[in-house]
């Protein structure tokens, strides 16, 4: 009841409040923005708009170019995507890729865990870790492919070998950085409860280092996903069950360029889903909730 | 103003402390600190934190370590906690040298990051209990809740440490320390960050808790008032390196009431020792 009347009798210049001794009313703290303005403040909305603009640009440019072999239109790419998803060709390949990814990623995590455990418990382990990460982290996984072929032949084993390589070093580096960064006080608290060995690592070090571990997991995922696609492309025909990389390779050979683009689209979509849903959720449920965000 | 405050609290304090001071039979000290020198090895220097410090801690003592900032109080507590090895001398618990941390010594650290940030206030206490004793979870949760209420944090059970203030975190840490039922409780300036009123209340509560369960306590502070309020004995450390410069038994008949003439005199003596020892500051 009072608010409107106060607004009507709003004193104009600041001096009036000095003269009359009437305190100037405080500015309204909440003011409703118009619907469009509010919508525009939401970052996903802005990004969706941008995405739409890019798609339109693509469509227009491709039609102008009018060459399906160089740049298929946006609509034909989407149709090809839907078609190859529905007839199961693309979905099967995606499934195959994800299967290998899960195997290699989990193996990488296990090895990185073992290596860092060794590194925090023994001095020789520390040296080993520092030495190995220092050397192998600089070695692109793809450069190991010829060697992998020699050792494991064509097939899953070679791909998994290079993928584990792509996960293990950056992940170990991050886990180790996280472990060494755990505050001395928290360590003393853990030791004070008589914790040592695996109990100490899992109950104190791992959660305390989780921000770094999460970073390492993200980097490891990104590396292994890229490595997988690249390895499939290189192995091409002979890797058995195929995968997205193989799908792209094949479509290029068959000059089905819209399908090739739909393969690229699938890679992007999967990447976005993993990063924005899986890792985002994990982050919100852990370090965000704990106030430990780096 | 001051006088009324203290008068109001006189009956309580008198009652508490009368109950506390029953003469104990002579016994082997629970904790013996013998000529302990503690050093930090940094790449550039060798920092001597304490030099040949000796004292005994008897069962049921409330020993206060008083000294200026940087005199090695925290370092000494960490050594008793088993986190730092003495460079010289020995620390005996139950007559045996301390070699490692253990649940027989509970510790409240001076640092604010001592709570596990991934656990709520309640879970922090539950974690402490479950790592040290075998009981059912329901029982533990109950006990942890009660302890949180005791340190005035009822309602904050499910808050994560990052959402608590510095003083609240310290109170959770105190509750967590009391939950373990250690033989010795080591407290490193736990009330330093509290406002005067809360500190007063916490001191009283600590004394009340002590008269309930008679734990042995080693309390670090740099406040003379706090030392006289809480201690049954006060040890004064000189600065850099920390050495025992004086030791006072607080007279049992002179209840720890700060307006008591005996304590006023003691307070002056302690202040004189502390200031004589202090380095010259120029502003
Ligand atoms: N981790 C460390 N590395 C090297 N030197 C240290 C370390 N911690 C403390 N010191 C040194 O040891 C000495 C004693 O430090 P300590 O923390 O025990 O002091 P304190 O008496 O607890 O002081 P305060 O009252 O300020 O907490 C100081 O001179 C300090 O510089
Ligand atoms: Mg200290």
Q: Which ipTM was obtained for this model?
A: 0.81
Model confidence band, residue A205 (pLDDT cutoffs 50, 70, 90)? very high
The pLDDT of residue B280: 53
* B15 within some domain: no
Q: Within an 8 Å CB–CB cutoff, is residue A41 touching chain B?
A: no
Atom of ligand 1 nearest to the CA of B72: 18
What residue in B sits closest to A185 (Cα-Cα)? Answer: B114
Query: In testing the pocket of ligand 1, which one of B36, B41, B46, B47 has its CB within 8 Å of the most ligand atoms?
Result: B47
- Angle at B193 (CA atoms; ends B18, B141), nearest 5 degrees: 75
A256 versus B269: the higher-pLDDT residue is A256
* B283 within some domain: yes
Q: How far, in Å, is the centroid of ligand 1 from the Cα of B213?
A: 32
Q: Do B101 and A204 touch (CB under 8 A)?
A: no
A282 versus A242: the higher-pLDDT residue is A282
Encode pLDDT of B179-229 as tens digits: 888 889 999 988 887 788 888 888 888 888 888 778 889 999 888 888 888
Distance from CA of B115 to the nearest CA of A (A): 7
Residue A260's nearest CA partner among A88, A84, A56, A59 is A84
> Three-state SS across B39-54?
EEECCCCEEEEEEEEE
* B69 within some domain: yes
Q: Is the peptide bond before A83 cis (omega within 30 degrees of 0)?
A: no
> Which of B113, B132, B160 is the closest to A183 by Cβ?
B113
The pLDDT of residue A9: 44
Q: How far, in Å, is the centroid of ligand 2 from the Cα of A128?
A: 37
Q: Which residues of chain B have pLDDT under 70?
A: 1-27, 251-259, 261-262, 277-283
* B276 within some domain: yes
Give the pLDDT mean for A11-40. Answer: 64
* B262 within some domain: yes
Phi, psi of A9, deg, nearest 5: -90, 25
Q: Structure tokens of A282?
A: 């994990």
Instruction: Report whether pLDDT(A165) > 90.
Output: yes
Q: How far, in Å, is the centroid of ligand 2 from the Cα of A276?
A: 44
Which residues 264-293 of A have a C-beta within 8 angstroms of B?
Answer: 286, 289-292
* B181 within some domain: no
Encode pLDDT of A65-120 as tens digits: 888 888 889 999 999 999 988 888 888 888 888 988 999 999 999 999 999 999 98
**d(C-alpha B179, C-alpha B132), whole Å:** 10
Mutate to test the interface with B, among A185, A188, A192, A282 (most CBs of B within 10 A): A192
Q: Do B116 and A195 touch (CB under 8 A)?
A: no
Q: How far, in Å, is the centroid of ligand 1 from the Cα of B127?
A: 29
**d(C-alpha B76, C-alpha B113), whole Å:** 19
The pLDDT of residue B19: 46
Q: What are the structural domains, with CATH classification, of chain A?
A: 97-290 (1.10.3720.10)
Model confidence band, residue A212 (pLDDT cutoffs 50, 70, 90)? very high
Instruction: Report whether pLDDT(A5) > 50.
Output: no
**Domain span at B252:** 28-104+224-283
3-state class (DSSP) for residue A183: coil
Give the pLDDT mean for A115-127. Answer: 91
* CB pairs < 8 Å spanning A and B: 65
Using CA atoms, how far residue B234 sits from B225, B229, B246, in Å, is 11, 10, 8
Q: Structure tokens of B21?
A: 């001071």
CATH number, position B261: 3.40.50.300
Contact in structure between B220 and B248 (CB atoms under 8 Å): no
Q: Within an 8 Å CB–CB cutoff, is residue B128 touching chain A?
A: yes
* B73 within some domain: yes
* B198 within some domain: no
**d(C-alpha B202, C-alpha B116), whole Å:** 22
Number of independent structural domains in chain B: 1
> Which of A185, A194, A207 is the closest to B102 by Cβ?
A194
**Global pTM exceeds 0.90:** no
DSSP A220-235: HHHHHHHHHHHHHHHH
Q: How far is CA B144 from the centre of its chain?
A: 21
The pLDDT of residue A20: 54
Model confidence band, residue A182 (pLDDT cutoffs 50, 70, 90)? very high
Contact in structure between B63 and B57 (CB atoms under 8 Å): yes
The pLDDT of residue B263: 72
Per DSSP bridges, beta strands B96-97 and B88-93 are antiparallel
Which residues 129-188 of A have a C-beta within 8 angstroms of B?
Answer: 183, 185-186, 188
User: Percent of chain A beyond pLDDT 70?
Assistant: 88
Stretch among A23-27, A221-225, B133-137, B230-234 having the lowest mean pLDDT: A23-27
Q: Do A186 and B78 touch (CB under 8 A)?
A: no
Q: Within an 8 Å CB–CB cutoff, is residue A223 touching chain B?
A: no
């Amino acid at each position: 009841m009072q608010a409107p009347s106060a607004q009507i009798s709003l004193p104009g210049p600041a001096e009036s409040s000095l003269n009359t001794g009437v305190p100037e009313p405080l500015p309204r703290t909440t003011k409703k923005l118009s619907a469009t303005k509010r919508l525009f403040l939401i970052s996903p909305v802005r990004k969706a708009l941008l995405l739409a603009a890019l798609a339109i640009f693509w469509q227009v440019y491709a039609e102008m170019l009018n060459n399906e072999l160089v740049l298929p239109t946006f609509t034909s790419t989407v149709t090809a995507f839907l078609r190859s998803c529905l007839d199961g060709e693309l979905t099967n390949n995606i499934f195959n890729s994800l299967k290998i990814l899960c195997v290699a990623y989990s193996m990488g995590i296990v090895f990185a865990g073992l290596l860092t455990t060794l590194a925090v418990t023994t001095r020789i382990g520390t040296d080993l870790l520092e030495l190995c990460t220092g050397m192998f982290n600089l070695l692109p996984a793809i450069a190991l492919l010829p060697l992998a072929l020699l050792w494991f032949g064509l097939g899953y084993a070679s791909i998994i070998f290079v993928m584990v390589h792509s996960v293990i070093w950056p992940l170990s580096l991050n886990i180790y950085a996280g472990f060494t960064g755990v505050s001395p006080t928290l360590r003393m608290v853990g030791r004070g409860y008589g914790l040592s060995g695996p109990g100490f690592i899992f109950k104190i070090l791992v959660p305390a280092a989780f921000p770094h571990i999460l970073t390492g997991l993200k980097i490891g995922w990104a590396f292994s996903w890229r490595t997988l696609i690249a390895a499939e492309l290189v192995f091409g025909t002979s890797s058995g069950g195929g995968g997205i990389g193989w799908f792209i390779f094949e479509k290029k050979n068959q000059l089905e360029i819209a399908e090739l683009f739909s393969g690229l689209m699938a890679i992007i979509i999967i990447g976005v889903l993993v990063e924005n849903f899986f890792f985002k959720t994990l982050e919100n449920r852990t370090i965000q909730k704990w106030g430990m965000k780096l | 103003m001051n006088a009324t405050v203290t008068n109001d609290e006189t009956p309580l304090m008198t009652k508490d402390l009368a109950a506390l001071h029953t003469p104990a039979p002579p016994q082997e000290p629970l904790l013996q600190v013998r000529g302990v020198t503690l050093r930090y090895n940094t790449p550039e220097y060798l920092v001597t934190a304490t030099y040949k410090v000796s004292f005994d801690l008897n069962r049921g003592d409330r020993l206060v370590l008083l000294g200026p900032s940087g005199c090695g109080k925290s370092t000494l507590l960490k050594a008793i906690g088993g986190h730092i090895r003495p460079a010289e001398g020995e620390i005996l618990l139950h007559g045996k040298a301390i070699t490692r941390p253990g649940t027989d010594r509970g510790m409240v650290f001076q640092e604010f990051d001592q709570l596990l940030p991934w656990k709520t206030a309640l879970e922090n206490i539950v974690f402490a209990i479950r790592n040290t004793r075998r009981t059912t979870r329901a029982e533990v949760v109950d006990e942890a809740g009660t302890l949180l209420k005791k340190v005035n944090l009822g309602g904050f059970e499910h808050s994560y440490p990052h959402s608590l203030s510095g003083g609240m975190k310290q109170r959770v840490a105190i509750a967590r320390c009391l939950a373990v039922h250690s033989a010795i409780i080591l407290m490193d300036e736990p009330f330093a960050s509290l406002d005067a009123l809360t500190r007063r209340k916490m001191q009283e509560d600590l004394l009340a808790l002590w008269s309930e369960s008679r734990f042995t306590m080693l309390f670090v502070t740099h406040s003379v008032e706090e030392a006289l309020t809480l201690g049954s004995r006060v040890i004064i450390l000189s600065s850099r390196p920390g050495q025992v410069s004086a030791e006072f038994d607080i007279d049992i008949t002179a209840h720890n009431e700060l307006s008591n003439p005996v304590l006023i005199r003691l307070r002056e003596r302690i202040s004189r020792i502390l200031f004589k020892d202090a380095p010259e500051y120029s502003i």
